[in-house]
Amino acid sequence: MRPNRQLIGHLRDSLSEATRAHLDLAIGKIVEAKSKNASVVVVTGSGPNIHEGVTTLLAELMHKGIVDGVITSSAVVAHEMAGTLDRVKRIRIAADEDLSFPVNLLPRGRIFEVTVLAAEACAELREEFSTGWDLYARMQHRAGDVIIKAAGNMAWPMGFRTERLAREAQQIAKQHGTTVEHAAGLGADPMTMIGIGARRGIPVLVSIPQLVGGGAVGLAIGDAISLSRRARLIADLLQRAEVIVESAIALSQEIHDGPFETYTGHGIWAAWERVPTYSLEGKTLVRIDLDPNLETAWKRERQSADVQKAVDLGLPKTKQTGIPFRMEMSGFARLEGSIPITADIGVVWPILACALEEKLGINLDFIPAPQETAHGKRMREWIVENVTYVNRRRGAATTHELKLPMVLGGECLGKTAIKSFNPIIRKNRGSSIKKCSINGLHA
């Protein structure tokens, strides 16, 4: 699943000259890093990264040895546990309708969502939980809009099932000294970041600012290990990285600076107390973001050092620079190796992936396209049909092979042998078939 070269050329031509130059610089830095076997880490936000196929592309780049670690959100983990993208039927419920639970619990507009599942998947899920299927059967015959959206979330049964499964993964994580991201990944699809991460021993971690999301999934992730331990794992991952790519993410400074970073962050007192720290100095920090103010702050710092002057004088950065200033602009603008790419991630990532493919001599089996294009629409359909939800039995079977507690941190995260998995992408997915018909809830 990949776009043709003509579309990639069109996407590149749609970027401004400055953005193309920054993108080429970023590509060069990644190629340079991989050519000497250095580490590349990607930090992703939520929604757009799912919808534009970026998280699926990152799973492919992890499989091909290009991405060496991912920092993401609990919402992304929740969506990947449910199969990344789903076809969902949205049904408007009358105020006086009997749903077996209070109608006033429905979200705004009284919309009840159900995941469109194949009959085989329904039978498989009935073995996990028996309640709610009568309501599902009733909704099958109701009129409603069928759309593709981020998997799980508000839709029954996948949203309900994912939050319940997260609590099981939390217990497994605690028993084996690992994270929910890793425990859930043991049963996840290999075209998800958590799935390929668990198979290949590649860290996939939710950042502390991104813990809130995915309902009980975020709570389970937060409850499984302490915040201090999570901060240390993320610091260790970023310390090993030569290139960090941030993709449509908020609150990034709290992620890449954190409590253990000393160059633009707040790690001085941790170092004072002889706690291990790291520095962003000398690293390349790429940020793909639609907000032009980020690039404006970056330019102002290079032209007149306005951001650093505000820091030195203890002045509000908004007043010193004259632009709406977000917290993450400070560390980014002042870091010598930062590269802003002001563009849509749905446009940038396909260009970047094709360039890496050519320059590094690899073959990528999946490259996305902007979701509004014809190829992007086919790409989203492909994800619905081919990327499936966590296989609970497969995950449980693999968990039994964890003979000793996992060592969290450094090169040990996720290194336990996972013999029950076939690491070949898009092979041996198990019985969780998601193919379906838009005319009903079953294929």
Residue range 350-375, pLDDT digits in tens:
999 999 999 999 999 999 999 999 99
112-154 confidence digits (pLDDT tens)? 999 999 999 999 999 999 989 999 999 988 999 999 999 998 9
According to DSSP, the residues that pair with 244 across neighbouring strands are 41, 285
The predicted pLDDT at position 412 comes to: 36
The Cα–Cα gap between 55 and 46 comes to 9
Mean pLDDT of 406-414: 37
The predicted pLDDT at position 409 comes to: 38
The predicted pLDDT at position 422 comes to: 31
Per the CB < 8 A criterion, the answer to whether 292 and 274 are in contact is: no
According to DSSP, the residues that pair with 71 across neighbouring strands are 43, 205
State the CATH class of domain 5-81+161-368.
alpha beta
Q: Is the pLDDT of residue 228 over 80?
A: yes
Q: What are the sequence ranges of the domains in the chain?
A: 5-81+161-368
Per the CB < 8 A criterion, the answer to whether 84 and 46 are in contact is: no
| Residues ≥6 apart with Cβ < 8 Å to 248 | 44, 45, 48, 49, 54, 288, 289, 290, 345
Residue with more model confidence, 416 or 350? 350
Lowest mean pLDDT, pick from 72-81, 163-172, 395-404 = 395-404
Helix (H) or strand (E) holding 337: none
The predicted pLDDT at position 203 comes to: 97
The predicted pLDDT at position 46 comes to: 86
Per the CB < 8 A criterion, the answer to whether 116 and 122 are in contact is: no
Per-residue confidence band for 377, with pLDDT thresholds at 50, 70 and 90: very high
Question: What's the chain's average pLDDT?
Answer: 85
The Cα–Cα gap between 316 and 177 comes to 43
The Cα–Cα gap between 255 and 252 comes to 5
The distance of Cα 390 from the centroid of its chain, to the nearest Å, equals 16
The predicted pLDDT at position 417 comes to: 30
Peptide bond into 368 cis (omega under 30): no
* Strand duo 85-92 + 111-115: pairing: antiparallel
Per the CB < 8 A criterion, the answer to whether 248 and 72 are in contact is: no
Q: Is the pLDDT of residue 88 over 50?
A: yes
The predicted pLDDT at position 311 comes to: 59
What tokens appear for 279 in the block?
């520095």
194: closest CA among 27, 317, 401, 44? 44
| Residue-wise DSSP of 128-185 | T--TTHHHHHHHHTS--EEEEEESSTTEETHHHHHHHHHHHHHHHHHHHT--HHHHHH
Lowest mean pLDDT, pick from 68-77, 91-100, 166-175, 313-322 = 313-322
What tokens appear for 236 in the block?
């260790």
Output Rg (C-alpha) for the chain, integer angstroms: 22
pTM given for the model: 0.87
| Residues ≥6 apart with Cβ < 8 Å to 254 | 207, 208, 209, 327, 328
9-47 confidence digits (pLDDT tens)? 999 999 999 999 999 999 999 999 999 999 999 999 888
